[in-house]
Amino acid sequence: MPTEELKSDAAKYLMETYARQPISIVRGRGAKVYDLEGREYIDFVAGIAVNILGHGHPDLVHAIQRQAAQLIHVSNLYYTEPQVRLAQLLVDHSFADRVFFCNSGAEANEAAIKLARRYGHDKHGAERSEIITMVNSFHGRTLATIAATGQEKVQKGFEPLMPGFVYAPFNDFETIAGMVGPKTAAILLEPIQGEGGVHVADREYLKHLRALCTEQDILLIFDEVQTGMGRTGTFFAYEQLGVTPDIMTLAKGLGGGMPIGACLARESVAAVFTPGTHASTFGGNPLACAAALAVCRILLEGRVLEQAKRMGEYLAKGLADCKDRHRVVREVRGLGLLQGMELDIDAKSVVADCVARGLLVNATSERVLRFVPPLIITQGEIDRLIETLTAIFNQRVLSEKDARH
Ligand SMILES: Cc1ncc(COP(=O)(O)O)c(C=O)c1O
């Protein structure tokens, strides 16, 4: 079936919640995907920071096949080894002592919000339930997480919003310090705001937040749904920002493409979740956990983290050089393989130009291009990105000149 036909069937049968590029992807290998008509694309989207090992990684495929043949799902009424081993691995390689598994980033944040409210309630009384989140943040699309998200556009039309969230400007310690009070249960933030346009948290700001939280027994929650799993060059972004949270949420890259989310916490915090307080039917099922276990092992035991770090630096430099050559580029921001390029022009039209030239990139907010390739991206593939952007920006300048004459 050609893409045009698929597009018209999609328009007929699917709820139209997504603005899609006019291509249909049928297979992938490494950092490349292929569409229905056989065209090749270098994938700088990676399922929006999901396919960290690229497409068709043999060890991941094998782990999924093996587990699918053995046991796909049983209830959390029973123990399964992949779930326990995955929790153990995450605990061994992070600040956390315990893990709750779910299926997505939004659900991981839901778990974190419930955990923070329960902790405030149990330790300080029912009053203590408010969570401070950041202006321009993104935490998911469920009702609690759109309330947590400090962006009107994701909330509009879904009011009344769940109460209990207030918003502070990002990277502004004085304002947030003035907002903290007896009701404050937690501060929730992304170490790098991804959806909000790729803004990196200042180390000093985080250090002050940590001290404030410790002093007042307020929980510091890092949403590492996008920044976790090697994306920034370390297993988790907090490792290089010099601050440790009390709760951390993960999803996206954790399963390398299999849906899985996780909420990690320190022992004294996790202890408020007792049997019956939280649950998920699919959360932590053996198939998703076996995939995530394979992803983590490849990341930690292979040279993938190392490569991600090197390629992150290479990408940042390539984009910065591109900025120096083109006036249309206003700023380049990011850490590791999570990079944003703010433009003077509409980013969506550049995304479309990239697709036409065999490159998948994504726009976050109106003027920011976001690059979140698989961690196995190569130097040659990054060179192709820079060449393509250069060609697009040069073309824009020529078209502008033509329009003026
Ligand atoms: C930082 C952050 N948190 C949460 C989410 C929501 O994750 P999901 O779409 O898996 O629910 C996202 C998704 O983009 C995200 O970037």
Predicted confidence pLDDT, tens digits, the chain (405 residues): 789 999 999 999 999 999 999 999 999 999 999 999 999 999 999 999 999 999 999 999 999 999 999 999 999 999 999 999 999 999 999 999 999 999 999 999 999 999 999 999 999 999 999 999 999 999 999 999 999 999 999 999 999 999 999 999 999 999 999 999 999 999 999 999 999 999 999 999 999 999 999 999 999 999 999 999 999 999 999 999 999 999 999 999 999 999 999 999 999 999 999 999 999 999 999 999 999 999 999 999 878 999 999 999 999 999 999 999 999 999 999 999 999 999 999 999 999 999 999 999 999 989 999 999 999 999 999 999 999 999 999 998 888 888 887
φ/ψ region of 351 (left if φ > 0, alpha if ψ in -120 to 50, else beta) reads alpha
Task: Please give the number of the atom of ligand 1 that sits closest to the Cα of 48.
Answer: 14
pLDDT, residue 279, reads 97
Determine if ligand 1 sits within 6 Å of the CB of residue 309: no
φ/ψ region of 154 (left if φ > 0, alpha if ψ in -120 to 50, else beta) reads alpha
Task: Please give the number of the atom of ligand 1 that sits closest to the Cα of 194.
Answer: 16
Contacts of 180 (CB under 8 A, 6+ apart): 132, 187, 212, 216, 218
Determine if ligand 1 sits within 6 Å of the CB of residue 364: no
Q: Is 197 exposed, middle or buried (0-12, 13-18, 19+ CB in 10 A)?
A: buried
pLDDT, residue 400, reads 80
pLDDT, residue 107, reads 98
- Tell me the C-alpha to C-alpha distance, in Å, between residue 225 and each of 38, 104, 191, 212: 32, 9, 10, 24
Determine if ligand 1 sits within 6 Å of the CB of residue 106: yes
The rounded Å distance from CA 6 to ligand 1 centre is 27
Contacts of 13 (CB under 8 A, 6+ apart): none
pLDDT, residue 375, reads 98
CB 326 within 8 A of CB 393: yes
Neighbouring CB atoms inside 10 A of 6's CB total 13
pLDDT, residue 78, reads 98
pLDDT, residue 1, reads 76
Question: What's the distance, CA 222 to chain centroid?
Answer: 12
Both tokens assigned to 21? 């590029």
pLDDT, residue 401, reads 81
CB 135 within 8 A of CB 167: yes
In Å, the largest CA–CA distance within the chain is 73
Determine if ligand 1 sits within 6 Å of the CB of residue 262: no
Mutate to test the pocket of ligand 1, among 195, 198, 248, 364 (most ligand atoms within 8 A of CB): 195
pLDDT, residue 396, reads 86
Prediction pTM value: 0.98
The rounded Å distance from CA 5 to ligand 1 centre is 31
The rounded Å distance from CA 154 to ligand 1 centre is 13
Q: Which residues are catalytic?
A: 138, 223, 252
Determine if ligand 1 sits within 6 Å of the CB of residue 353: no
Q: Which residue has the tokens 């153990």?
A: 88
The rounded Å distance from CA 262 to ligand 1 centre is 12
d(CA 398, CA 404): 10
Determine if ligand 1 sits within 6 Å of the CB of residue 193: no
The rounded Å distance from CA 18 to ligand 1 centre is 15
Determine if ligand 1 sits within 6 Å of the CB of residue 228: no
d(CA 120, CA 218): 8
pLDDT, residue 338, reads 98
Contacts of 340 (CB under 8 A, 6+ apart): 197, 198, 199, 332, 333, 334, 364, 368, 369, 370, 371
